[in-house]
Amino acid sequence: MTSTDNTPGQDATELEKQLAAATPEEREKLLTDTIRTQAGTLLNTTLSDDSNFLENGLNSLTALELTKTLMTLTGMEIAMVAIVENPTPAQLAHHLGQELAHTTA
């Protein structure tokens, strides 16, 4: 799977297609990269896979914006509480990957 520039204007349909065609491992990496990029853009910082959103300045408004952006890009329904319960790009990607696997199984 090739790397994708996950900018806010990225074609959501393309990401959805990539997620649908990906293996579970590829899907989790793609989600991690997308989440890390989108959250980093919103927080105006560079995040690692294990960077804590809250420790990097995430608040209720940016959490809402991140949730909406990720829902648009992935086509998934994402509860805002998922960001609090899974406070790093890697944890959130794992959670969303599991949710996606359950909806496509």
Structural domain containing residue 81: 20-104
Distance, in Å, from the CA atom of 34 to the CA atom of 21, rounded to the nearest integer, reads 16
* Residues 73/34, Cβ–Cβ less than 8 Å: yes
Summarize pLDDT for 40-87 with one digit per residue, the tens. 999 999 999 999 999 999 999 999 999 999 999 999 999 999 999 999
> What CATH number did the domain enclosing 83 receive?
1.10.1200.10
Q: What is the pTM (predicted TM-score) of this model?
A: 0.86
Whether 42 is in a domain gets the answer: yes
* Residues 15/74, Cβ–Cβ less than 8 Å: yes
Whether 48 is in a domain gets the answer: yes
Whether 5 is in a domain gets the answer: no
Whether 76 is in a domain gets the answer: yes
**Is it the case that residue 35 has pLDDT exceeding 50?**
yes
Whether 63 is in a domain gets the answer: yes
* Residues 4/30, Cβ–Cβ less than 8 Å: yes
Distance, in Å, from the CA atom of 13 to the CA atom of 81, rounded to the nearest integer, reads 25
Task: Please tell me the total count of domains within the chain.
Answer: 1
Whether 30 is in a domain gets the answer: yes
**Is it the case that residue 8 has pLDDT exceeding 60?**
no
Distance, in Å, from the CA atom of 11 to the CA atom of 86, rounded to the nearest integer, reads 25
Whether 84 is in a domain gets the answer: yes
